[in-house]
Structure 1
């Protein structure tokens, strides 16, 4: 059978792994500079932990895991599983009799589960970062995979809006170091709730935000069509028409909202919170051009309660390369109340694609071997390995060509692998305590003393 990859997954070459490490190292360094501590959670969770947290569409994208043995089930379920096991393999299923675990959909819900389980041991505010893969049964396309990495930073145990301001700083500092020009789109879930109240569709808030979140993909006509399909009246849609004709002036848009939200406590609270984040970010030196108040930004996840963020690359068509928001009620579903939280995520895979498209990876982002020692056989091989050991003790990468082959073959190997220098330690060099090496990039060959070579 011809080998193939599972749809929506990828292999990564050494070059790709090195470049991904370059991105991760910058993010990890900034996470720790901002006071976040590392955390890792299991790749799969109990299905009940994940379902009901991402909305109707998100729940459909959760990868469920078929119970590996009927012995995992309780006695009264074993007969049912024996009868339905093969049927379940042949078509999609959702019966809890057949599956009670799932691959994690994101890192936020597992984090909330961790906080709920350990809240008595944690020091609040608790700041954690997490860099791990997640899985979604989505339709693969450019920048969207079924297995991908998220790089998250979250704070729980604080309602302070200064956390939002700090996360804006974290986004901008990280992307500046990656040399990716970005714009951060900001909205507030309370504003969306206020809009639903203004249009008289409070009972349709989730349907409204899910449809609105698709505006950049399906356009105004597509959003209107979906709202009508979700039984939202034309009258309500007409009241919301101003959403599609926003100006580029954030303060002007907020002023317009204040007028429409007269007497609307929730909506006005959202405007007030957003004004604070924008104003204080600018006071800290953020260019207002990097921040956009996007009133149509909804991010279709049910757990957001306040600020919501989405980051877009200015010079590449890639959708969002980061996003997040405030989720003050998330741990309540795990029985722990009054643990407010806010977090952001960096989309590693999309950031990689943007940097690749814009040729932003530096040459030293790849981890090439510094020295390849030519293999002449006999005593020279042992002496070469002794010198390789000394280089490695100094933290310098080196390897020996495994066979005593023709020198041209060893040259070709070094060039194809991107090794910087080819070292010749022959009988003459060993006798004179010297080392001859050729820089394959510059084409220069030198013979130096052993002491000079080892630095």
Structure 2
């Protein structure tokens, strides 16, 4: 059988793993600088934990796990014959791979809230799975890097997360723009257009604007039984100015009769103003009134981060979800969180050639194998280098020197070391810098002190 990868998954080479570690280390360092603590949750959850938290489309993308044993023998024959997949799922699957890190985090908080100190700040860097259609920057298995705060309603958390985003991407040297909106503003727009009962349908369609354009969104709204009259009232959404505060002022007028809409404008104004007071360049922050993020659990601020110089979807996103733990029977624990898309961040850095040389792990010294007693002396010296934290290895076979050179070059090893009879007799080490092409002979002490 010819080996193949499951669609939407990848193998990672040594260089790719090293570069991913480089990104993760920068993010992890910033998470901890901002006071977040690490958490890990299982790769799969009870299906009931995940279902109903991501909206209708999200639920379809959850990878279900078949029950172990004779799962088919317990299926209702009528449901099987009718191919009623909704009823069949509950009979053959009660577990699923996690779709994101936020819902498992909410489940953890609900189970452990009596032991946690609030506000509780956690970060989590783990893989998630979605049965999505693979394309550039979109995989079925990918890593999320999340930072969340629960137990605080303060809008200063939003301001702090904006700072976390900007510092992290500045450290990665990726120029970005943070798009911001507020779900209360979207609720206000639904009130203004008289489609409060269609809020979810409205936000799901609006969230696709950058993918399907205005015409596509309007078509989908009509298909979801939203009237042309209501759509006409929302025409201004597609003609926003570049001035965020001016757009908010326009909204205040339209939201004169919408308490929730005005509340959303007030919250967003606070976050934008405080960010400006902290010296954030307004070019890095955009009020994007059409940003919806199609997840049902957001209740306030929502964020999406776009790379300025690469045509790709968002490389980060998040928002406030004040009611998420309620579905697990625990009320009054407000939360807000952001996520970094590791795989997309990697693709952006690769395209912009932003990875430094140290982001690739390389062996510092390869010791040539000449056979005989030199092998033991080489191994002793390799042990001393490793104790100093310097990577080194011995070529395993007494092969032709050309073959050993080729191995070193292909593996990207920096130096080839020669410890022959002459060097052992004189207490010296000869090595060749394979990048510069220079060869040196040093005393053993000098070599170990490099």
Q: Aligned with 2:89: secondary structure?
A: coil
SS at match of 1:275: helix
8 Å CA contact 2:119, 2:150 repeated in 1: yes
The equivalences for 1:67-86 within 5 A come to 67-70=67-70, 79-81=73-75
- Equivalenced residue count is 448
Q: Alignment partner for residue 412 of structure 2, among 393, 404, 418?
A: 418
Residue in 2 that maps onto 1:25: 25
Deviation string, structure 1 residues 264-311 (Cα, Å, up to 9, x no partner): 110000000000000000101100000000000000000000000000
- 1:294 is matched with 288
Q: Does 1:404 align with 2:392?
A: no
Provide the rounded CA distance (Å) in 2 between the counterparts of 1:224 and 1:412.
Answer: 60
Deviation at 1:263, TM superposition (A): 2.3
Unmatched 5+ residue regions in structure 2? none
Question: CA 1:88/1:423 → structure 2, altered by over 3 Å: closer, same or farther?
Answer: farther
Q: Is the 8 A contact 1:8 1:140 kept in 2?
A: yes
CA deviations over 1:189-234 (Å, ceiling 9, x no partner):
0000000011110010000000000001111111011000000111
Alignment partner, residue 194 of structure 2: 200
Taking the aligned partners of 1:285 and 1:427, their CA distance within structure 2 comes to 64
User: More deviation in 429-438 or 269-278?
Assistant: 429-438
Q: 1:262 aligns with which of 256, 264, 279?
A: 256
Gaps of at least 5 residues in structure 1 are none
Q: CA deviation at 1:118?
A: 0.4
**For the residues of structure 1 that align with 2:307 and 2:78, how far apart are their CA atoms?**
48
Compare 80-89 and 303-312 and name the one that shifted more. 80-89
Is this contact kept in 2: 1:85–1:98, CA < 8 A? no
Instruction: Mark the CA change 1:93 to 1:361 in structure 2 (over 3 Å): closer, same or farther.
Output: farther
The answer as to whether partners of 2:417 and 2:429 remain within 8 angstroms in 1 is: yes
TM, length-normalised to structure 2: 0.97
Q: CA deviation at 1:113?
A: 0.2
C-alpha deviations, 1:400-453, integer Å up to 9, x for none? 100000011000000000000000111111111111100000000000010111
Residue 157, structure 1, aligned to residue 157, structure 2: no
Matched, 1:8 2:8: yes
What is the 5 A alignment of 1:37-116? Answer: 37-70=37-70, 79-81=73-75, 94-116=88-110
Partners in 2 of 1:227 and 1:175 — Cα distance? 35
Given the two structures, how large is their TM-score scaled by the length of structure 1? 0.96
Which residue of structure 1 aligns with residue 338 of structure 2? Answer: 344
CA distance in 2, matches of 1:112, 1:223: 32
| Contact 2:75-2:88 within 8 A present in 1 as well | no
Other structure's SS at 1:305 match: coil
Q: Is the counterpart of residue 121 in structure 1 residue 85 in structure 2? A: no
Once the two structures are TM-superposed, the CA of residue 68 in structure 1 deviates from its matched residue by 1.7
CA distance 1:271–1:86, change in 2 (3 Å): closer
Aligned to 1:226: 220
CA distance in 2, matches of 1:190, 1:308: 10
The alpha-carbon distance between structure 1 residues 87 and 65, as it changes in their structure 2 partners (threshold 3 A), is farther
Task: Measure how far apart 1:95 and its partner are.
Answer: 2.2
RMSD in angstroms over aligned alpha carbons?
Answer: 1.8
